[in-house]
A and B are shown apart, each in its own frame.
Chain A
Amino acid sequence: MKLWDSFAKKFAAPKQKKEPAGSRAQARDRLRLVLVHDRATISPVMMDKLKEELLQTLSHYMQVDEVASVACLEQTDKEVRLVATFPIIKLNRNYAENIS
Chain B
Amino acid sequence: MVTSGKGGVGKTTTTANIGTALSFSGQKVVLIDTDIGLRNLDVILGLENRIVYDLVDVITGNCRYKQALIRDKRFGNLFLMPAAQTKDKNSVRPEEMKALCEELKENFDYVVVDCPAGIERGFYNAIAGAERAIVVTTPEVSAVRDADRVIGLLETSGLRDAKLIINRFRPRMARQGDMMEIEDVIDILAIDLLGVVPEDEKIVVSTNRGEPAVMENGWGAGEAYRRIARRIQGEEVALMNFEMKPGFFGRLKKIIGVN
Contacts and interface: CB of A to CB of B under 8 A. Distances in A.
A39 B158 CA distance: 18
Interface residues of B, number: 18
B183 to A, nearest CB: 10
A31 B144 contact: yes
Interface residues of A, number: 16
B140 A27 contact: yes
Interface stretch (B88-96, B100-108, B145-153, B204-212): B145-153
Nearest to A34: B145
Contacts of A38: 145, 148-149
Contacts, number: 44
Given A32-B188, A35-B148, A35-B188, A24 B178 contact: yes
A27 to B, nearest CB: 5
A24 B148 contact: no
B141 interface: yes
Contacts of B156: 43
Interface of B: 139-141, 144-145, 148-149, 152, 156, 174, 176-181, 184, 188
Interface of A: 18, 21-25, 27-28, 30-32, 34-35, 38-39, 43
| 10 closest cross-chain pairs (CB), A and B | A22-B177, A22-B178, A24-B177, A28-B184, A27-B180, A23-B178, A31-B141, A27-B141, A35-B148, A24-B180
